[in-house]
Structure 1
Amino acid sequence: MTTMDHVARIQAEWRRERPDVDVTPQGVIGRLHRLAAHLTGELVTVYREHGLEEGEFDVLATLRRAGEPFERAPGELARHTMVTTGAMTKRLDRLENAGLVTRRRSHADGRARVVALTPAGRDLIDAAFTAHMRNERRLLAALPPGQAALLEEILTRWLTEFER
């Protein structure tokens, strides 16, 4: 007997109950959805080992990727991390209280604010990012050689359709 994963069982039930509806898309979408939940659980474990929540990791990583002097405007951070400015404010409050970022007025425009990594924030994100990449490499090791690259190509093409 062939073992079925969770999605295959759901598809079989739908095929039995609604043979008039093609449930093949569920094979891709359902598995991606479930896989995303599993992957998120694996990723946040590493963030927490560094004392960070997922959103805090995103903010620190976005600042670190900015390059010297490792700063961005709060609105720019919100766009890069795809959260509302209100959610960004809460994240920044926590990170500032932890001494990982500072907020100051912009030198270019005194009305604008700038968020910058502190040296402690840079050290933390560098360590967390290194562990994060090691973890992602571990997760991808479950795929046979070459399939990760093929999957990346397929997902890139598909995601491009949504992000146009």
Structure 2
Amino acid sequence: MDPTGGSPEAGAVRPGGPEAGTDEVDRIVAAWRRVAPELDVEPLEVLSRVARLAHHLDRLRRSAFAAHELETWEFDVLAALRRAGEPHELSPGQLVVQTLVTSGTMTNRVDRLARRGLVQRRPAPDDGRSVLVRLTDAGAAVVDAALADLVRAEHRMLAVLPAAERRALAALLRRVAAPFEAPPGT
């Protein structure tokens, strides 16, 4: 419900909306403060916005990837291989760590990408029992094109902030995320 007592559709532009400094999270927080004044709901002011932004970002990314006939998980695997640098290959275990999935899930994903000709498996030179997953030329072309579209869309998404504010926001989010991103074994 908005401050005027109406009930506009979520996301609709209205007086007192984002351009005036309020948003749906402000209304949600105000409602919680009204019905549960004993609770300190301050974290909602940040984390509800992060969650809502993550939803919008997910839709933006899915759209950018779909234009290249990729699912988000396919982009994640191809991007990990591309970032590895020449010869654009990693072990399945390295892919598991970078994409935060199980080894069984990664096996399935590599199988599916290999059937599409976007990756190939080859025996590891130092261990004949192990394999490496290598990005093919077709895989590199599709991930590069998808990344270019994604970055353009993400620039548009962040265009409401000047460069200095984007850098400050990145630094703050890094601090909040750091405890969850610690390397394994630390």
Q: Same fold (TM over 0.5)?
A: yes
Query: Helix, strand or coil: the match of 1:138?
Result: helix
Count of paired positions: 164
Measure how far apart 1:120 and its partner are.
Answer: 0.8
Aligned Cα root-mean-square deviation (Å) = 1.5
TM-score by length of 2: 0.82
Q: 1: distance between equivalents of 2:65 and 2:117? A: 17
TM-score by length of 1: 0.93
Deviates more, 1:141-150 or 1:98-107: 141-150
Q: 1: distance between equivalents of 2:106 and 2:74? A: 9
Structure 1 segments unaligned to the other structure (5+ residues): none
1:59 corresponds to 2:77: yes
Match runs of 1:2-13 below 5 Å? 2-3=16-17, 4-13=22-31
Q: 1:119 maps to what in 2? A: 137
Q: 1:25 maps to what in 2? A: 43
Counting aligned pairs with the same residue, the percent is 47
Which residue type is aligned with residue 98 of structure 2?
H
Q: 1:75 maps to what in 2? A: 93
Q: 2: distance between equivalents of 1:69 and 1:136? A: 28
Q: Which structure shows the higher helix fraction?
A: 1
Query: Helix, strand or coil: the match of 2:27?
Result: helix
Q: Deviations over 1:84-122 (max 9, x none)?
A: 112212221221111000112211101111100111111
Which residue type is aligned with residue 75 of structure 2?
F
Match runs of 1:13-162 below 5 Å? 13-162=31-180
Which residue type is aligned with residue 77 of structure 1?
L
